[in-house]
Structure 1
Amino acid sequence: MVMKKVVENAVQAKNEIEDLTKQGYTHDDIYIFAHDKKRADNITDALDTESVGLQEQGFLDSMKNMFTSRGDELRNKMEAAGLTAEDAADAERELDHGKLVLIAKKQ
């Protein structure tokens, strides 16, 4: 089962992650997305969550993301984390407004 949460900031993200871990998700099951790459990396590191990489996306999609826009990259990564294309597009619009998107998917 895949869960998507939209939050305003890292404090709310931390609270949601705590709730998700109480529901049986591990930190490796949780992904955080932000439109700004540095912000996403900092929050991912600080909250000890997972990053979408080769394992989730595969080599070709990872390489393709090097040459696409940030929005396309985010949608591709959110789909790799378990969202449908439509849900990923909706989530990317939330990111455009400065929000954070959490995706939890049990491995």
Structure 2
Amino acid sequence: MSATDAKPYGKVVENGTQAVEVVNELKSTGYGFDDIFVLAHQKDRTDKIADTAGIQEIGIKEEGLFDSLANVFRSRGDELRSKMTSLGFTKEEADFYEEELDRGKVLVIARRHT
């Protein structure tokens, strides 16, 4: 399996503190700034956790221009699922994770930068 075929890693945690801990663990195993993302159902919560953890948010580079622009018109749930599938999760995985985010949890995502 090549790096471009590698499945992303996803871990659901209860809160931002746990998300930062998981991010730090991933960094210590060799994942870098461009490899780790967090998602929460509320955009401002995602921003805060990403800033605290010292990582970036899923953006145009990961999603592509079309999906990034389309997200302006999507519901938050649709936007989150789009972001997840752009990183390599299947539709079914994205649906599962989005339901967890609906419950107030946080998703930490890691993938090898290609």
- TM-score by length of structure 1 reads 0.94
Aligned to 1:13: 19
Query: Are 1:85 and 2:79 counterparts?
Result: no
How many residue pairs are counted as aligned between the two chains? 107
What does the per-residue CA deviation read over 1:22-52, in whole Å, with 9 as the maximum and x for residues that have no partner?
A: 2211132111000011111111111111211
Which runs of 5 or more residues in structure 2 are unaligned? Answer: 1-5
Aligned to 1:46: 52
3-state DSSP class of the match of 1:95? Answer: helix
Task: Write the distance in 2 (CA, Å) between the matches of 1:80 and 1:48.
Answer: 21
RMSD: 1.0
Which runs of 5 or more residues in structure 1 are unaligned? Answer: none
Aligned to 2:104: 98
For residue 66 of structure 1, the aligned residue among 46, 54, 72 is 72
What does the per-residue CA deviation read over 1:79-99, in whole Å, with 9 as the maximum and x for residues that have no partner?
A: 112211111110000000000
